[in-house]
Structure 1
Amino acid sequence: MSNQKLSVLEKVGFGAGDMALNVVISSMMLIITFFYTDIYGLHTADLALLFVAVKIVGAIADLVMGQLTDRFNAAMGRYRPWLLFLAVPYGVSIFFAFTTPQLAYDAKLVWAYTTYILATLMTAGVGIPYISLISGLTSDPKERLSANGYRLFFAKIGAFMVTIIVPILAQRWGNGNAAAGYQAAMGVMAAVGVAMFLFCFFTTTERVRHVVERQSIAEQLKVLMKNDQWLILCGVCVTGTVGYVIRGSVAIYYAKYYLGGDTGMVSAFLSTGVAAAILSMVASTWITKSYCKVKLFRYTQIMVAALSVAIYLFVKPGDTVLAFVLYFLLSFIVDLHAPVFWSAIAETIDYGQVKTGKRVSGFAFGGISVCQKAGMAIAGGLVGILLTYFDYRPNAEQTAFALNGIALMLSVISGFFHLVMGLLMFKYRISDKYYDEVKAEMRTHGYVAS
């Protein structure tokens, strides 16, 4: 067994990959809904179908990429080469997704579908290999947890850039043309994403080569259905993503309309949430050194549900200071679980191999990504439906009913899904001690090639 310790440079390089990935993820969670309604001029009623359709395509793409990574193995590794070859197409797809040609409304819808699907396909192309990469870097659970701490820290840096830089640059560079401003700003983000994926490729090494038996999709699915711990993570991923996306999608509306903020306040509000999440990544790594990571996961999500209700009850329209404070606190607590979740995926794969005698890796990571897409599809559909139901009107003074709906979406509605997420984790049992037993079984049966 080769040295499983990762250098700081390698952890930073690994983290840079998620920074690149979050150029899209954060954009799609935090600004794409606002961009389509208030900048591009799509109707809220059309957004639900758009988001659901795109995420279905993305889910299929994730499964395909999972199969491809299982069947691919080069001298550079199983996962890293994809980052090298698809980095530039990924960046180009982001630029086109935020390009807004002057077309008739139906043609604008076609353009939105086409470019959003292209960005989703390219994201699958780099995303599945990237989230699978941790299983090849090391088999040490502490090192995986530490590396995922770096990863999620840089992911939040990427989100921070999107939330604070994009709105400001869009306003400054647009010269009154918001569409042109967003195109230019996201062009910069796309270039950053390309650079970060290349940096990730050149600074990481795949030192763990697992033995992956060729299996049909049906056989792999059958094996995964026997992996109870992986299935729990699937449920956690879907419910958590729904909560994240609903809250993230409506945050910009909340700051602009409910709090009555200008562009500066909107950017500050979004950035407050991201800054809290960045601090959360550091805190999570520190806390899990002495406190059970599974318990941390469970109880933080229940706390998020309680805080969400508090935000709805106590923050009134225009209560800027209280809104910022509670939103910061909520954003800090909600992300304490994140390094645990992304480390747990690799652990459930090893657990499944010991339990069934067969290893399903690419399909397992791809399946988690499918669950994430499913959550995003559900959330995207709900956001479109709810904005329509609450009678939201772009760039206009909102009714009391609409403002209350926006507040509910940011708080109680999204918080409910985090409550379900936390409760599901009471069924998860792979602690560090338990995982040590799993690794011992893997070595006994020769499941690790090197």
Structure 2
Amino acid sequence: MTTKTNKLSRIEKFGYSLGDLAANLVFQTLITYLAYFYTDIYGLESDDATTIIFVVGTVAAFGFNPIVGAIADRTQSRWGKFRPWILYTAIPLGIISVLAFSTPNFNYNGKVTYAVVTYTLLLLLYASSNLPYSALSGVITGNMKERNSISSYRFVAVMFAQFFVQVFMLPIIIYAGDGDKAIGIEIVMTWLAVIGTIMLLITFFTTRERVITKEEQKSSLKDDLSDLIKNKPWIVMLLLTTLTFISLAMKGGSYVYYFENYIDAYQLTNFISPILDVLTSIGINFFGNDPVSAGFGLFNAGGIIFMIVGIGLSKPLADKYGKRNIFGIFLFISTLFILVFYLFKSTDIALIFGSQILHGFFYGITIPLLWAMIADVADFSEWKNYRRATAIIFSAMMVGLKLGLTIGSSLVTQVLSFYGYVANSEFGPSSEAILGTKLLVSVYPSIPFFIGVVLLLFYEINKSLESQIEFDLKQRRNN
């Protein structure tokens, strides 16, 4: 294993971060709108939407990611192992992103088939782009502080993507489609696809791979899998990643239902009117007269803005106290502000917004640490086994991510169906459906987060071991 340099320029950090901004224009849309798109825009029954999301997502998690990871680790090109994947998938990923959120005029069975095919292709191309992109962070530099730094750049970019999708996307969809959400979402996804493709190409051209595997350190797929099974920190991170994205997908996909079916529209209008007046005065007026979409956007905005503040504190805290300790402490605190949503009445608008802001701030501190810890697991594996298999380790984590997204998103539609939710009902939501919606943004997503906090007690890469691994690997590479 050789390392050309540890120090990264700001241009390279920024260029690398654009790749995650592009990916999250897709990923955040899946978390926030996939269930809602299938049930309330595309017109699928809740049970069919659940089946598609769960079955296709599970196949993608256990099929696409390990295969892409194994192939990427063995890719040889003049651009390295992982950068070529970013280059060659940029345009196809953009095209399928538009098709997956289009609404062709098929009969019902045709709609179901179209949804299965487009969602499958979207997850395949997303894995082929984002898994090598994530693994790239493990070979850009071997310096753990620089790795913390690029993670901070990366997840500020993630927050910008999340900010757009969760704050502006629903109002823009309504605005672009002149009230027709089906037309609006196609227009918006087309623009996002063009922008995302350009960003991925910038990532390819501005980054370099520096941690290079020597011929004698290369291993077989059997060796890689054997190393994984014996790697306890990897097992912990796999479970933690799965649990984290179950919670994110569950609460993220439920907020739009929460605002449309539970929040008191009159109180919401009174609360957000002064904010909308300020935005209108500076030319931001596409929120229109829909208090639900406007309130939904501003609610997400508060959380995301304070997430970005939290991300800014992540690196110095992790450098001083270690990633594991900071992750566990602030994940626990942030979860308390999810759980409390169960207590809020539909008229408690200020408390709802305030809790979202506090959750965003404390959770933001944890955001850059997850992927930095996974890169540390790749170092741990090399340190223990004298072999490096970066992409297969990241692919396993992507299994957790996709599995978490699949379980969380399918739980949204499944729980709503269990509590009797009927999309666009002329009679409005039943009391049981409202209860299900409240549970989906409070109690249910809190459970995986709390389990994740306990799991971190078994993660052995603490601050001291981080320093030891970095020192030992540096010595080996220099020799």
Tell me what 1:108 maps to. 111
1:417-432 correspondence to structure 2 within 5 Å? 417-432=448-463
Deviation at 1:114, TM superposition (A): 0.9
> Letter of the aligned partner of 2:35 in structure 1?
T
Query: Cα deviations across residues 53-96 of structure 1 (Å, max 9, x unaligned)?
Result: 22123221111111111111222221112111210111011010
Preserved CA contact (<8 Å) 2:218 2:387: no
Comparing 139-148 with 338-347, which one deviates more in the overlay? Answer: 338-347
Identify the residue that residue 194 of structure 1 maps to in structure 2: 197
Counterpart code for 1:241: F
Quote the residue 1:167 is aligned against: 170
Corresponding residue for residue 305 of structure 2: 275
Alignment partner, residue 436 of structure 2: 405
Does 2:391 match 1:362? yes
Q: State how far apart, in whole Å, the 2-side matches of 1:219 and 1:101 are.
A: 47
Conserved 8 A contact 2:333-2:362: yes
Aligned position for 1:292: 322
Provide the residue aligned with 2:334 in structure 1.
Answer: 304
- The one of 65, 78, 86 aligned to 2:89: 86
From 247, 250, 253, the equivalent of 1:243 is: 247
Q: Distance in 1 between matches of 2:264 and 2:302?
A: 16
Residue in 2 that maps onto 1:232: 236
C-alpha deviations, 1:150-206, integer Å up to 9, x for none?
101101111111223321221112123210111001111111111111111111111
> Equivalent residue of 2:320, what SS?
coil
Q: CA deviation at 1:420?
A: 0.6
The residue that corresponds to 1:3 in the other structure is 5
**1:55 is aligned to 2:51:** no
Supply the distance in 2 between the matched residues of 1:4 and 1:215 (Cα, whole angstroms).
25
- Is the deviation greater in 205-214 or in 195-204? 205-214
Q: Does 1:150 align with 2:153?
A: yes
Q: Is the 8 A contact 1:252 1:270 kept in 2?
A: no
> Quick one: which amino acid aligns to residue 335 of structure 1?
G
Which amino acid in the other structure matches residue 6 of structure 1? L
Map 1:208-223; keep pairs closer than 5 Å: 208-211=211-214, 213-223=217-227
Moved more, 154-163 or 351-360: 351-360
Decide whether the 8 Å contact of 1:304 with 1:415 is kept in 2.
no
- Partner deviation per Cα, 1:256-310 (whole Å, 9 max, x = no partner): 2211452211222233333232222112224334333221111112223322222
Corresponding residue number in structure 2 for 1:319:
348
How many angstroms does 1:449 deviate by? 8.4
Asked if the contact 1:45–1:384 (Cα under 8 Å) also holds between the matched residues in 2, the reply is: yes
The answer to whether structure 1 residue 416 and structure 2 residue 447 are counterparts is yes
Report Cα offsets for 1:126-170 as digits up to 9, x if no partner: 111100011111111000001000101101111111223321221
2-side partners of 1:320 and 1:114: how far apart?
40
- Measured in 1, the distance between the counterparts of 2:177 and 2:202 equals 30
Mean CA deviation greater in 180-189 or 71-80:
71-80
Q: 2:379 aligns with which of 337, 350, 368?
A: 350
- SS where residue 34 of structure 1 aligns? helix
Q: Distance in 1 between matches of 2:40 and 2:177?
A: 15
Q: Distance in 1 between matches of 2:353 and 2:369?
A: 27
Alpha-carbon distance in structure 1 between the residues aligned to 2:419 and 2:333: 27
3-state DSSP of counterpart to 1:393: coil
Separation (CA, whole Å) in 1 of partners of 2:374 and 2:18: 20
Q: Is the 8 A contact 2:18 2:199 kept in 1?
A: yes
> What is the rounded CA distance, in whole Å, between the counterparts of 1:413 and 1:268 in structure 2?
24
Query: In the alignment, is the contact (CA less than 8 A) between 2:35 and 2:253 conserved in 1?
Result: yes
* Residue in structure 1 matching 2:135, options 132, 137, 156: 132
Q: Can you give the 5+ residue segments of structure 2 that lack an aligned partner in the other structure?
A: 266-291
Q: Is 2:25 the partner of 1:45?
A: no
Across the two proteins, how many residue pairs are aligned to each other?
447
Cα offset for 1:443? 4.5
**Distance in 1 separating the partners of 2:473 and 2:192:** 42
How far does residue 211 in structure 1 lie from its aligned partner after superposition?
3.5
Question: Which stretch shows the higher mean deviation, 1-10 or 128-137?
Answer: 1-10
1:216 CA displacement:
4.1
Q: Paired residue for 1:183?
A: 186
SS in 2 for 1:372: helix
Partner of 1:122: 125
1:35–1:276 CA distance, 2 compared to 1 (3 A): farther
The one-letter amino acid of 1:358's match is: R
The alpha-carbon distance between structure 1 residues 260 and 179, as it changes in their structure 2 partners (threshold 3 A), is farther
Q: Distance in 2 between matches of 1:432 and 1:7?
A: 25
Paired amino acid for 2:29:
S
Letter in 1 for 2:299: F
Once the 2 structures are TM-superposed, how far is the Cα of residue 392 of structure 1 from its aligned partner?
1.2
Q: Which amino acid aligns with 1:104?
A: N
1:14 counterpart residue number: 16
CA 1:350 to 1:62, structure 2 compared with 1: closer, same or farther past 3 Å? Answer: same
Aligned residue in 2 for 1:441: 472
Determine the C-alpha separation between the residues in 1 that align with 2:440 and 2:214.
45
Corresponding position: 1:331 with 2:360? yes
Q: Does 1:77 align with 2:80?
A: yes
The whole-number CA distance in structure 1 between the counterparts of 2:386 and 2:220 is 16
Q: Which amino acid aligns with 2:249?
A: V
What is the identity, as a one-letter code, of the residue corresponding to 1:271? A
2:293 to 260, 263, 266: 263
The alignment's TM-score, normalised by the length of structure 1, stands at: 0.95
- Normalising by structure 2, we get a TM-score of 0.89
DSSP 3-state at the match of 1:96 = helix
2:321/2:463 contact within 8 Å kept: no
